[in-house]
């Protein structure tokens, strides 16, 4: 494979069926680098000159480059080049093989402590009440390291991780840029600006809501985001800031806002964005565009000068390329840059990733904290390989609930962006039936991120007539995770609750609201008032195939059951497709 220094996969302005800018770049013919604020504008001028000579320029600006355009924009001292661009004579086809190397595992250190987060939010709201600013985008950096096999090629590992990140956060504005010392792996959904034929489009992204666990909940989440006074106000503040920024380089009366409050569906969150457009004045340069807009107001707050001053006081380290800009200037001078949020930066095997949100007078600590959790879900997806999993019962050559299992596997593949080779799956299962025509078997069906299928059969004993469960000693804090709603090989959150005492079959879990959810290996049923009840998916659980069958048959009904209601429980049952319906009792208490 040709040595790759950069990959660009950006949405087009047309977006509705328009072609993506999807190119690779080899070793640059030269690099344009700014190490000091005084060098940033000359580098951008050189980039524009090279593009007008028919070359491609791919690179980034660190957030700390802001002081090159206005000394009043307070920043930390940068920990690398303020601006870096590789110059290329030509673009190369996209190398499909980058995703074929097994991706490495990323081990992340502890995140910002909740108490510290709450303290910062209180300080920010005091400053907002005092009139210092309207909004501040507060962020924190996560630090981690790559755990790769000895002798693994670092560049191949970086590319494989980039491929994993793109699967976790598809679409948008993806960029891989290797400057020789640092690798940027950006899967940002946010457009900073696109400048083409004198027309400038900025698309600030402000306003976030978690995706729903069901289609109905998802639609409700999107509607709530679009209608939220707090989220709309947060978005409008930044739109107004961008309108003002664009007016500095725009032809008179050309600044417009053709689209407000657009809710965009990302894999784990809904994001609200708005479009701000303008026609740039004659003689406007790339450096002028950056001077007017950089950093993007969505990652600073408003007003920008006072917000950045507070960011400098509260954030302990430079943001780096995170919250700066990364993109490409094409032959002729058209330019498109993302805001590198949802990005990982690698250096000597060490990784950083920034997470943040906009804080306003209406912000609530718990809601903002949960927003940070949801925003980092893309990172959790990509930080360790996993496969989609179905566990099926095969008895005398026939699969139990096969249609339900395959439908759930298909839905999980669509959610995570995994290929779903229907014929390959059918062929593997048919082979198992032929090889094991009699007896009871546990079938383990796996689908990996590349569409690879594995299917194995293991002898399985009949389910016991009754099992003993233990009650979890703490809340199950992963109950809102997509790795709970979908069945995968990522099971550390369940393994942490595995039974430790002899004779205990499984652990009964409950969430932070005190609601029962499921067991670690199946669903749970409670008989209360003569009716059999099972928690709904909104409580945070995997909707098991056996559970769904018993719901269809009318044997079960959905209802929230709280821990405090245990004295009312007349009987328990453990439920899954593999074992069916198994009577259960809770250790230390016999319903």
* Catalytic residue check, 206: yes
Catalytic residue chosen out of the listed positions 64, 103, 190, 515: 190
Write phi, then psi, for 342 (nearest 5 degrees). Answer: 50, 55
The rounded distance, in Å, linking the Cα atoms of 356 and 311 is 11
Burial 433-463 (b: 16+ CB within 10 A, else e): beebeeebbbbebbbbbeeebebebeebeeb
Q: Tokens 């949960």 appear where? A: 370
Q: What is the DSSP pairing of strand 6-10 with strand 183-188?
A: unpaired
Structure tokens at 257: 């806002």
Contact 336, 21 (CB under 8 A): yes
Contact 521, 576 (CB under 8 A): yes
- Cis ω before 303 (30° cut-off from 0): yes
Contact 87, 50 (CB under 8 A): yes
Catalytic residue chosen out of the listed positions 64, 103, 194, 206: 206
Contacts of 590 (CB under 8 A, 6+ apart): none
Strand order in the sheet with 398-399: 398-399, 388-395, 440-447, 453-459
Q: Tokens 């990509």 appear where? A: 382
Burial label for 531, CB within 10 Å (0-12, 13-18, 19+), is exposed
Structure tokens at 534: 């099972």
* Catalytic residue check, 456: no
Q: Tokens 């002899």 appear where? A: 502
Q: Where are the beta strands (DSSP E) in 449-565?
A: 453-459, 466-471, 506-510, 516-519, 523-528, 531-534, 557-558
Burial label for 556, CB within 10 Å (0-12, 13-18, 19+), is buried
Task: Provide the phi-psi class of 231: left if phi over 0, else alpha when psi is between -120 and 50, else beta.
Answer: alpha
Closest CA to 372 of 117, 167, 14: 117
Catalytic positions: 190, 206
């Amino acid at each position: 494979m040709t040595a790759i220094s950069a990959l660009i996969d950006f949405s087009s302005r047309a977006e509705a069926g328009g072609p993506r800018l999807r190119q690779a770049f080899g070793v640059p013919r030269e690099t344009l680098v700014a190490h000091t604020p005084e060098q940033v504008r000359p580098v951008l001028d050189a980039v524009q000159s090279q593009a007008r000579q028919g070359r491609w320029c791919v690179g980034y600006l660190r957030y700390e480059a802001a002081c090159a355009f206005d000394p009043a924009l307070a920043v930390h001292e940068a920990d690398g080049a303020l601006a870096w661009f590789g110059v290329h004579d030509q673009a190369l086809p996209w190398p499909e093989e980058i995703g074929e190397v097994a991706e490495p595992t990323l081990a992340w250190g502890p995140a910002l402590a909740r108490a510290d987060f709450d303290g910062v939010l209180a300080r920010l709201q005091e400053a907002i009440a005092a009139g210092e600013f309207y909004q501040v985008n507060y962020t924190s950096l996560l630090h981690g390291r790559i755990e790769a096999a000895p002798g693994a090629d670092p560049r191949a590992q970086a590319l494989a991780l980039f491929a994993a990140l793109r699967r976790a956060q598809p679409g948008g504005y993806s960029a891989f840029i290797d400057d020789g010392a640092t690798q940027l792996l950006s899967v940002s959904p946010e457009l900073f600006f696109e400048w083409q034929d004198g027309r400038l489009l900025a698309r600030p992204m402000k306003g976030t809501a978690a995706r729903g666990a069901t289609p109905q909940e998802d639609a409700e989440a999107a509607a709530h985001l679009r209608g939220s006074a707090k989220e709309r106000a947060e978005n409008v503040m930044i739109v107004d800031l961008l309108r003002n920024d664009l007016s500095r380089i725009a032809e008179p009366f050309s600044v417009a806002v053709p689209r407000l409050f657009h809710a965009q569906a990302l894999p784990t969150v809904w994001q609200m964005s708005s479009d701000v457009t303008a026609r740039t004045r004659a003689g406007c340069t790339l450096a002028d565009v950056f001077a007017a807009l950089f950093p993007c107001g969505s990652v600073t707050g408003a007003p920008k000068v006072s917000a950045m001053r507070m960011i400098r006081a509260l954030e302990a380290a430079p943001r780096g390329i995170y919250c700066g800009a990364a993109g490409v200037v094409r032959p002729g001078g058209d330019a498109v840059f993302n805001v590198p949020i949802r990005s990982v930066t690698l250096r000597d095997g060490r990784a950083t990733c920034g997470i943040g949100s906009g804080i306003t007078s209406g912000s609530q600590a718990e809601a903002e904290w949960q927003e940070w959790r949801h925003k980092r879900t893309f990172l959790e997806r990509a930080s360790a390989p996993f496969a989609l999993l179905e566990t099926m019962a095969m008895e005398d050559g026939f699969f139990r609930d096969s249609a339900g299992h395959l439908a759930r596997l298909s839905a999980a593949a669509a959610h995570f962006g995994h290929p779903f080779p229907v014929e390959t799956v059918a062929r593997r299962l048919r082979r198992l039936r032929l090889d094991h025509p009699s007896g009871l078997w546990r079938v383990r069906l796996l689908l990996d991120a590349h569409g690879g299928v594995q299917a194995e059969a293991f002898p399985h004993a009949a389910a016991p007539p009754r099992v003993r469960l233990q009650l979890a000693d703490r809340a199950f804090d992963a109950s809102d995770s997509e790795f709970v709603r979908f069945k995968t090989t990522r099971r550390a959150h369940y393994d942490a609750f595995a039974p430790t005492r002899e004779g205990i079959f499984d652990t009964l879990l409950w969430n932070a609201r005190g609601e029962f959810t499921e067991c670690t290996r199946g669903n749970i049923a409670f008989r209360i008032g003569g009716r059999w009840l099972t928690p709904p998916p909104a409580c945070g659980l995997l909707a098991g195939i056996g559970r769904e069958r018993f719901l269809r048959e009318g044997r079960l009904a959905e209802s929230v059951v709280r821990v405090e209601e245990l004295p009312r429980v007349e009987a328990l049952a453990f439920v899954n497709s593999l074992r069916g319906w198994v009577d259960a009792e809770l250790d230390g208490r016999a319903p």
